[in-house]
Homo-oligomer: A and B are copies of this chain.
Amino acid sequence: MEKFQLHILGCGSAKPTTRHFPSAQALTLSGRLYLIDCGEGAQLQMQRAHLKYTAVDHIFISHLHGDHCFGLIGFISTLALHGRTQDLHVYSPDGLEQMMKEQLAFFVNGMAFEVVFHAVPTDRPTLVMDDGHLRVTTIPLCHRVPTCGYLFEEVPALPHIRRDMIDYLGIPHYAIRGIKEGNGWTTEDGRTFTQAQLTTPAAPPRSYAYVSDTAYHPAIAEQLSGVHLLYHEATFAEADSSRATVTCHSTARQAAQIAKAAQAQRLIIGHFSSRYDDENILLQEAREVFPQTELASELRVFEL
């Protein structure tokens, strides 16, 4: 099974503290690296996590608040310094391209690659990327500006050929790809074998959902049904739930309610308000509803 990991690069909220970096995560699937949000310092955190950040081809921005995207210009500049030539794809709600075009022209002039901006819809789940390994779909969220999360689903792998059957039946090499893709096989003496008899199933595809800034929004649970790993913002504790309502954020308990309703396997909470010196209050409140909850923290790695 290919290595599929989530690296938390930053899990603070807008007001900076020395405990957290602003939002940024890296998702790695056997060497490929996908960047999710890019707050100030994301590139430094990638270095600290020993991630090969020059391998990033796709960046997913949830919304255009500074704590989710101010690290982009610095990161792109650094890629240019490294002599990158390959296109870089940046997905975000509409507006980012206009905001960055002039900056890129000024600060990263003469760069040998293109930054391709993709404005993604935030009002309905939309497949925005499929590179043959991962499929990425937007998750419509409810915040003060157009915002979406992203659902990352492994592209199902083809089943494994049963070498014993192939050898026993003398199936030629040229037929194997077809069997992996669903064909059966008929021997010269007329015996037929189904794909299921000739293969063992591949590992089931894994999924990760990134739910960025949002008011409590139970409508997303259906789209996230059965997700393996869910990150959900949990800016506030219950005692501050009125603040959550006003600012269109969630409490830790609400994050856990989403995880429970979606029947997620595991929940990570983050995007902590700077007011909590000890975030265990958030963890406790979430675990009362959804025990398989963990706290995000900088450079923590979660295996999928």
Contact = CB atoms under 8 A, between A and B. Distances in A.
A267 B203 CA distance: 61
A44 B66 contact: no
Given A40-B71, A66-B107, A70-B107, 12 more contacts: A15-B82, A16-B43, A16-B44, A18-B44, A40-B40, A64-B106, A64-B107, A65-B107, A66-B77, A66-B108, A99-B106, A102-B102
Contacts of A1: none
A74 interface: yes
Contacts of A95: 106
A160 B53 CA distance: 59
A15, A41, A64, A102: which has the most chain B beta carbons within 10 Å? A41
Interface in A59-73: 64-67, 70-71, 73
Nearest to A100: B103
Contact of A81 (B14, B40, B78): B14
Contacts of A77: 14, 66-67, 70
A66 B18 CA distance: 23
Interface in A26-41: 40-41
Interface of A: 14-18, 21, 40-41, 43-44, 47-48, 64-67, 70-71, 73-74, 77-78, 81-82, 95, 99, 102-103, 106-108
Contact of A78 (B15, B41, B44, B103): B15
Most B CB contacts (10 A, CB to CB) among A43, A77, A108 go to A77
Contacts of A102: 99, 102
**Copies per complex?**
2
Contacts of A108: 66
Given A64-B107, A81-B14, A106-B64, A40 B74 contact: yes
Q: Which of A21, A48, A73, A74 has the most CB of B within 10 A?
A: A74
A71 B44 CA distance: 13
Contact of A99 (B14, B82, B103): B103
A96 to B, nearest CB: 10
Contacts of A15: 78, 81-82
Contacts of A67: 77
Contacts of A21: 44
A124 to B, nearest CB: 25
Contact of A47 (B17, B99, B103): B17
A38 to B, nearest CB: 11
A103 to B, nearest CB: 6
